[in-house]
Amino acid sequence: MLLPSGKTSFREVVEHAPAVCILAENGHGEILFVRQHRYPVKRAVLELPAGVVEPGENPLETAHRELREEVGMDARSMKEIIRFYTSPGFCDEEIILFLARDLFPSPLEGDDDETIRVESWNREALVKGLENREFQDGKTLMALYWYLLKGEEILS
């Protein structure tokens, strides 16, 4: 590649399909999480529901599908909050973060290689969990900070 400086450099780029992440608030002021083993980091990680945009889908459709597959709920309200690159220095993965509200049960059979446990956390537990570093996933931390920062005015 040719850099603006005129010098050349070799870069290894990881190509990754876009993905969605869903901050789903149930009617009781709780946020829904999934806890699952993540092979690359060799541990169970507590994360917001998320998944890759499949061919033929738009991100909004992916958000509805992943929420149904991972926590068995769909949302009457699904609103884009922000989109961002996870690691723009070596990877083109973009994540679209959605806020899901007005949930209702609507389970959908998910990928059979994912063993997932669903958890719901209220605001007080979230604040305590952040202090105790119980969240290790970047997109999840970002969404929680956003939620605590903007939540009251936006979710009221």
Nearer to a second copy, 63 or 103 (CB): 63
- Which of 31, 34, 78, 142 binds a second copy (CB under 8 A)? It is 142
Residue 34 interacting with a second copy (CB under 8 A): no
Say if residues 34 and 112 touch (Cβ distance below 8 Å).
no
Q: 25, 47, 69, 74: which one contacts a second copy (CB under 8 A)? A: 47
Q: What b-and-e string marks burial along 29-61, b requiring 16 or more CB atoms within 10 Å of the CB?
A: ebbbbbeeeeeeeeeebbbbbbbebeeebebee
Binding site for a second copy (CB under 8 A): 1, 3-5, 7, 9, 11, 13-14, 16, 37-42, 45, 47, 50, 82-95, 112-113, 115, 133, 135-139, 141-142, 145-146, 148-149
